[in-house]
Amino acid sequence: MEKPIGTQLVDTGERIIPAKENEVSVVFSRQLFAYRYASQYVVDKTVLDIGCGTGYGCHLLAGKARRVTGIDYDTDAIEYCQTKYSGSNIEFIHADASNLPSSSLFDVVVSFQVIEHIADVDNFIVQMKKRVIPGGMILISTPNSKTGTAGVSDNQFHVNEMNYTEFYALMKKHFTKFEIYGIGYSSKNRLREFLLQSPLYHVGKLLRRGSKIKKLGTQMTGLTEFIIIEDDVHEKGIDLLAVCTN
């Protein structure tokens, strides 16, 4: 029998509740894609997920990793993680991503859609590097702002959005070996391109995840189908994904 969760979490678009069967969440699908891509790097490894949110990514990685530790500053989210995704090789800890508490070293660190919430991104990366063994991997994703707005954002939750050039410069400052990929749509779709520029897209965000209209619209526009992009990342990437060697 499923243990009840003490606090009812709300999907804000920043803190994402996993989509249930027959539900559609574009943001959840996009985040899950990043974790699935990262799973190739964690086989039999110890993994730290910084800003683990509601824990579904840790759960996915734990299927291949030796051990996964997820940290998040939100105590309600950690309670959700511990209730939904506890396991023999998963641990969830309440902690501030800017001030990591543990001196333990990990083989791999992932931090997806977190760095845009951090004011001091240089310190954030320095702290991450301290938690990874020499030669270990660090994977970081962030929205591709495209317009170059480092330190400025219309999103009330973001304090540091970056375009490709800014993100590349930040990685080059801290790593000698890294690649930056894009996460983008798997195919061209004129209807999707139109809707993304239309007020209808924002109306669609208000629809329930189980809405038949939302499901049909998502299917017609390919909004939940993604690929890794290696060329023209600055232009085609919805998100930027850095794969770095410590």
Residue 41 DSSP label: G
CA angle 195, 154, 49 (to 5 degrees): 90
Both tokens assigned to 99 = 């001030």
Residue 169's Cβ-count burial label (10 Å; 0-12, 13-18, 19+) is exposed
Residue 94 in this model has a pLDDT that exceeds 80: yes
Whether 16 is covered by a domain: the verdict is: no
d(CA 92, CA 35): 17
pLDDT mean over 59-72: 96
d(CA 235, CA 20): 32
Number of structural domains (the chain) is 2
Q: Are residues 201 and 81 in the same domain?
A: no
For 72, 143, 163, 198, the CA distances from 181, given in Å and listed in that order, are 25, 12, 13, 27
Residue 193 structural domain: 187-224
- Give the pLDDT band (50/70/90) at residue 13: low
Could you tell me the CATH number of the domain that includes residue 119? 3.40.50.150
Whether 125 is covered by a domain: the verdict is: yes
- Kindly report which listed range (31-45, 58-72, 83-97, 206-220) carries the lowest average pLDDT score: 206-220
Whether 94 is covered by a domain: the verdict is: yes
Both tokens assigned to 174 = 């801290």
- Give the pLDDT band (50/70/90) at residue 67: very high
Whether 204 is covered by a domain: the verdict is: yes
Q: Are residues 112 and 154 in the same domain?
A: yes
First vs last Cα of the chain: how many Å apart? 43
Q: Are residues 146 and 210 in the same domain?
A: no
* Average pLDDT of every residue of the chain: 85
Q: Are residues 37 and 101 in the same domain?
A: yes
pLDDT per residue over 124-133, tens digit each? 999 999 999 9
Whether 2 is covered by a domain: the verdict is: no
Q: Are residues 201 and 177 in the same domain?
A: no
For 53, 159, 160, 178, the CA distances from 156, given in Å and listed in that order, are 18, 8, 11, 30
Q: Are residues 132 and 57 in the same domain?
A: yes
Give me the sheet containing 177-185, strands edge to edge. Answer: 90-94, 67-72, 46-50, 106-112, 132-143, 239-245, 177-185, 226-229
d(CA 84, CA 78): 10
What's the number of CA atoms in the CB half-sphere (13 Å) around residue 145? 22
